[in-house]
Amino acid sequence: MQPYYSFDRRNFLRVGAAGVMGLTVPTISARAASGSSDLPGTGRAKSVLLVLLSGGPSQLDMLDPKPEAPAEVRGEFTTIGTTISGIRVCEHLPKLAQQTDRWSIIRTLAHREHNHLLATHVALTGRPTPLPRGGSDLDRVETRDDFPNFASALDYVRPLNNGIPTGVSLPNYFIEGPLTWPGQHAGFLGAKHDPWQIKKDPNEANFQMDALSLPAEMTMPRVQSRRALLEQLNLGTSALPGSPSAHAFREQQAIAFNLLTSGKITQAFEIQRESDAVRERYGRNKFGQSLLLARRLIEAGVPIVQAAMGIVQTWDTHVDNWGRLKNTLLPQLDTGLAALMDDLSASGLLDSTLVIVMGEFGRTPKVSTLPGQTIPGRDHWAHAYSALFSGAGVRGGQVIGQTDAIAAYPKTSPWSPADICTTVFNALGVPPDVTIMDPLQRPHHLLNGNVISPLYTGREA
């Protein structure tokens, strides 16, 4: 049986960001990994698209319904059949029900963090969240002591040098009041490896990436001329003592120029190039258009794209769980995913794109009503939750794992965030023996869990 997650607190790396002409971008390291593996799914993916349902979607009201359970467990929804014999999902996911031949449903994900911030770090890094000495988990926000997330770690071991960022996250950064969710950047790898964060709504009529737009008077020849001048200035000062921040800034300059002169990434953000019909298929809302933009970034060659639904804790349904799911969350998810999968399949990109749909945890089996509230919901639950996997060699039309009669605990072997992390890197062809160095120059294995082999073989141990 797999552990809920790996407790070896292996540390990672650092990252940094800077700008030129208003452009803020992550930089790329110079390390590369090599090696081979015969693990299932190795190297099948060129890109990974993580659809993050922040807040924790209910397994009982979506992918692991228990229609025979008592009312206080099963909730208000009924179920519908799918393309998988004997498998049912929520009635408000009709398009997904007709596309389950493309998906593997994992019902036995599990870990131990029931706090949003800690669980998000675990979900996006595969590591437990380091806690401040003497502090509580409620105080734990994003710091440079964090482990790097998927995109940042990949940027460290396999950097790109073609003007395309290794990772892009959209459509917002997870911040609420004084709290900033950990796991969103490269942690102590430094800002150099941070994913590129998009903080605009792709559904807005005037959506554009100003950072990729040159001022009217700034022609491409002038950009190239300024780059040549900067290179001469940098060359003249290279022999002088310099701070690490100065070196990092010069690296940022180079990446910024690459992005400005690379048409692929600029065109990817021109979502207005899509027809009205295509945009309507995804849903004219923030989430639907974020999925459409994510697809365009995958087409442009971005290795890891994270698309979140709405804002932080959108799926945190302590109150009005069934109303919010029925009226907004499930229809938008159902519509957007169906369009995304149709397009990836039609273009052939699904063969080389690993798609994952998950939250940081699930919801409690028992319905509850918060003090002072009248409309019930469900609380946080990390002991068992569900996710969707597709593409890049993943077998569709199957369910992996089985929970107990109320979807509270796994009956079969659980899978952890560390296993998801390892599966992602394995799919991208990162060798299993790759190590990364923390700030104290201690080596740590990047792949710290087990590949979720039933995704590829259809057989559970």
Nearest alpha-carbon partner for 160 in 291, 254, 24:
254
What domains, with CATH codes, occur in the chain? 17-457 (3.40.720.10)
Higher pLDDT, 306 or 245: 306
> What pLDDT is attached to residue 26?
29
Segments of 291-430 assigned E as strands = 304-308, 353-358, 362-363, 380-381, 385-390, 398-400
**Residue 218's pLDDT is what?**
43
Lowest mean pLDDT among 110-124, 125-139, 398-412, 443-457: 125-139
Q: Percentage of the chain with pLDDT > 70?
A: 78
- Answer whether 392's CB lies under 8 Å from 41's CB: yes
Task: Please compute the mean of the pLDDT values over residues 425-433 and round it to a whole number.
Answer: 96
* Pairwise pLDDT comparison (160 vs 242), residue with the higher score: 160
Instruction: Give CA separation, 26 vs 160, 272, 361, 378, in Å.
Output: 11, 25, 29, 38
Report the chain's mean pLDDT, rounded to a whole number: 84
Confidence of residue 331 (pLDDT cuts 50, 70, 90): very high
pLDDT for the residue numbered 132: 64
d(CA 451, CA 284): 36
pTM of the model: 0.84
* pLDDT tens figures, 372-389: 999 999 999 999 999 999
The pLDDT value recorded for residue 355 is 98
More confident: 92 or 15? 92
Q: Among 33-37, 46-50, 239-243, 425-429, where is mean pLDDT lowest?
A: 33-37
pLDDT for residue 404: 98
Question: Where is pLDDT greater, at 353 or 37?
Answer: 353
Whether 25 has a pLDDT exceeding 90, the answer reads no
Distances in Å between the alpha carbon of 79 and those of 62, 91, 377, 408, 450?
9, 5, 19, 19, 32
Lowest mean pLDDT among 158-172, 256-270, 287-301, 418-432: 256-270
Alpha-carbon distance 278 to 292, whole Å? 9
Confidence check: pLDDT of 237 > 60: no
Half-sphere exposure of 335 (CA within 13 A, CB side): 21
Is residue 262 pLDDT above 50, yes or no? yes
The pLDDT assigned to 280 comes to 98
At residue 238, the pLDDT reads 54
Say yes or no to pLDDT of 35 above 90. no
**249-272 mean pLDDT:** 69
For residues 392-397, average pLDDT: 97
Q: Contacts by 95-101 with C-beta closer than 8 Å and gap 24+?
A: 95/334, 95/335, 95/337, 95/338, 96/333, 96/334, 96/337, 96/338, 99/337, 99/338, 99/341, 100/396, 100/397, 101/396, 101/397
